[in-house]
A and B are shown apart, each in its own frame.
Chain A
Amino acid sequence: NAGVTQTPKFRILKIGQSMTLQCTQDMNHNYMYWYRQDPGMGLKLIYYSVGAGITDKGEVPNGYNVSRSTTEDFPLRLELAAPSQTSVYFCASSARLAGSTDTQYFGPGTRLTVL
Chain B
Amino acid sequence: KQEVTQIPAALSVPEGENLVLNCSFTDSAIYNLQWFRQDPGKGLTSLLLIQSSQREQTSGRLNASLDKSSGRSTLYIAASQPGDSATYLCAVGPTGNQFYFGTGTSLTVIP
Contact = CB atoms under 8 A, between A and B. Distances in A.
Given A42-B103, A102-B31, A90 B44 contact: yes
B98 A42 contact: no
A48 B42 contact: no
In the complex, which range does the number of interface residues on chain A fall in?
A: 20 to 34
Interface in B89-111: 89, 91, 94, 97-104
B49 interface: yes
In the complex, which range does the number of interface residues on chain B fall in?
A: 20 to 34
B45 interface: yes
A106 interface: yes
Nearest to B31: A102
Contact of A108 (B43, B46, B94): B43
B42 A109 contact: yes
B34 A104 contact: yes
Contacts of B100: 42
Given A48-B98, A58-B98, A104-B99, A42 B4 contact: yes
A40 B89 CA distance: 12
A109 to B, nearest CB: 5
Given A41-B103, A103-B49, A106-B43, A56 B97 contact: yes
B38 to A, nearest CB: 9
B51 interface: yes
Given A40-B103, A42-B4, A101 B49 contact: yes
Most chain-A CB neighbours within 10 Å: which of B4, B32, B99?
B99
B16 to A, nearest CB: 30
Given A48-B98, A56-B97, A104 B46 contact: yes
B43 A104 contact: no
Contacts of B32: 101-102
Given A40-B103, A50-B97, A101-B51, 5 more contacts: A42-B104, A43-B44, A103-B46, A104-B99, A106-B46
16 contacts: A40-B103, A43-B101, A92-B44, A102-B32, A103-B34, A103-B46, A103-B49, A104-B34, A104-B46, A104-B99, A105-B46, A106-B36, A106-B43, A106-B46, A107-B43, A108-B43
